[in-house]
Amino acid sequence: MDRYRFILSGGGTGGHIYPAVAIANELKKRYPDAEFLFVGAKDKMEMEKVPQAGFEIKGLWISGIQRKLTLKNLMFPFKLISSLLEARKIVKHFKPHVAIGTGGFASGPLLRMAESLGVPCVLQEQNSFAGITNKLLAGKAEKICVAYDGMERFFPKEKIVKTGNPIRTDLVDVKENKQEASNFFGLDGNKKTVLVLGGSLGARRINQLIEKELDFFAEQGLQVLWQCGKLYHEEYKKYDSGSVKVLAFVNRMDLAYAAADVIISRAGAGSVSELCLVGKSVIFIPSPNVAEDHQTQNAKALVAKDAAIMLRENELDTEFEKSFSGLMDSKEAQDKLGENIKKMAMPKATEHIVDEIEKLLK
């Protein structure tokens, strides 16, 4: 067999890029001589993140449709045609054995052209509510790897394989050493810790909530490990003190999870999959500003299995303190949420996805 060639596309957000890179790394481990090419959208973060991960990437002139009539929308047909032609050229030149799409605008033209040239395609859908690109591509894909039950609402049943979402391998054994983790962040190992996660850029509404509730946490004798995001660090770093640690970014997520007793988080697909593995009690505050309200759907899937609490942004002022106190006052409730969320973990997701890709190579 000559060397395998894999073409991958996923982008726009870390939620699409990270799974694509994880899949490529696992394929590289199994086929060290394989060639890899990523295809992304020209002005999106994948153009920076993929080369940082050690892979080559080519950009397409593609973007999504805005929700209102704008000049960008008028350009969309031209961008789409240009991207389809460019994608066709890339596929013909690279001659991949398999094409892999993890969602995002660029994966549409790439997988559409790969399929039309006879290349078998695999899709990976991270969310419990399928994204528009994957829904459009589903009919022609060989396999669709998903992380949630009930995805036959969106995809042909016979193509679906439940694999879970690729997650960072350093989290597979989150050490239960709370003391060491607390020391790392300069926290008190004997105090209960609330970990707040709003994503790498930060979440404005979650930050506003935490600022408002700092006295409430102090009254409860709690300490706070607050990842406020790089966009907001200047604004909130003034609260950094003995019992409140304010960070733009958390470099050691394994230790942050180990230090936490309860976690407040957004409900992006990657975060949800990680938190299932961590197995602690979580209050999800989904972002209402993402396509198709994915995050609310992701959180609801866990709430339905009694594996998490969800509060919408518009409920925070009235419901947060009540829900939070109810959770902190009951060790039983914390344990139950932790056990139930852990049952939903799929730590071998990346390997299972690559097993499905391998079947297409045979």
> What CATH code is carried by the domain that includes residue 93?
3.40.50.2000
Cα(234)–Cα(289) distance, rounded to whole angstroms?
23
| 165 annotated ligand binder | no
pLDDT bracket for residue 266 (50, 70, 90): very high
How many other β-carbons are positioned within 10 Å of the β-carbon of residue 12?
Answer: 23
Question: Which position has the token pair 């299972």?
Answer: 352
Residue 126: pLDDT band with limits 50, 70, 90: very high
pLDDT classification of 127: cutoffs 50, 70, 90 = very high
52 plus 188 within the same structural domain: no
Are 161 and 114 within one domain? yes
Q: Tell me which H or E stretch contains 342.
A: helix 331-343
Question: What order of strands is seen across the sheet that includes strand 98-101?
Answer: 57-60, 35-41, 5-9, 98-101, 121-125, 143-146, 160-162
Residues 306 and 213 in one domain: yes
* pLDDT of the residue at 64: 62
Q: Render 71-116 in DSSP notation, one character per residue.
A: HHHHHHHHHHHHHHHHHHHHHHHH--SEEEE-SSTTHHHHHHHHHH
Lookup result for tokens 């997988």: 111
Sheet holding 193-197, edge to edge: 244-247, 223-227, 193-197, 262-265, 281-284, 309-310
Q: Are residues 111 and 142 in the same domain?
A: yes
181 and 320 share one domain: yes
Coil vs helix vs strand at 151: helix
From residue 357, how far is each of 6, 35, 142, 348 by CA, in Å? 10, 15, 9, 15
Q: How far apart are CA 136 and CA 28, in angstroms?
A: 29
Q: Copy the structure tokens of residue 314.
A: 């518009």
Mean pLDDT of 155-166: 96
Number of domains present in the structure of the chain: 2
pLDDT for position 182:
93
CA dihedral 323, 324, 328, 332 (to 10 degrees): 40
Are residues 151 and 254 part of one domain?
Answer: no
Phi, psi of 162 (to 5 degrees): -85, 110
Is 107 annotated to bind a ligand? Reply is no
44 and 87 within one domain: yes
From residue 138, alpha-carbon distances to 7, 103, 215, 254 in Å are 17, 11, 50, 35
356 and 227 belong to one structural domain: no
Contact (Cβ atoms closer than 8 angstroms) between residue 225 and residue 194:
yes
Determine whether the annotation assigns residue 223 to a binding site.
Answer: no
Q: Which of 63, 84, 83, 85 is nearest to 74 (CA)?
A: 63
CA atoms within 13 A on the CB side of 98: 24
Same domain, 157 and 186: no
pLDDT band at 348 (very low <50, low <70, confident <90, very high): very high
Q: Answer yes or no: is 14 a known binding residue.
A: yes
User: Tell me, what's the pLDDT at 93?
Assistant: 97
104 and 180 part of one domain = no
Same domain, residue pair 55 and 189: no
Q: Is 127 annotated as a binding residue?
A: yes
- The tokens 């929700």 sit on which residue? 67
Rounded Cα distance between 96 and 105, Å, is 20
Domain enclosing residue 145, as ranges: 5-166+347-361
Confidence of residue 82 (pLDDT cuts 50, 70, 90): confident
Q: Is the pLDDT of residue 257 over 90?
A: yes
Q: Are residues 247 and 274 in the same domain?
A: yes
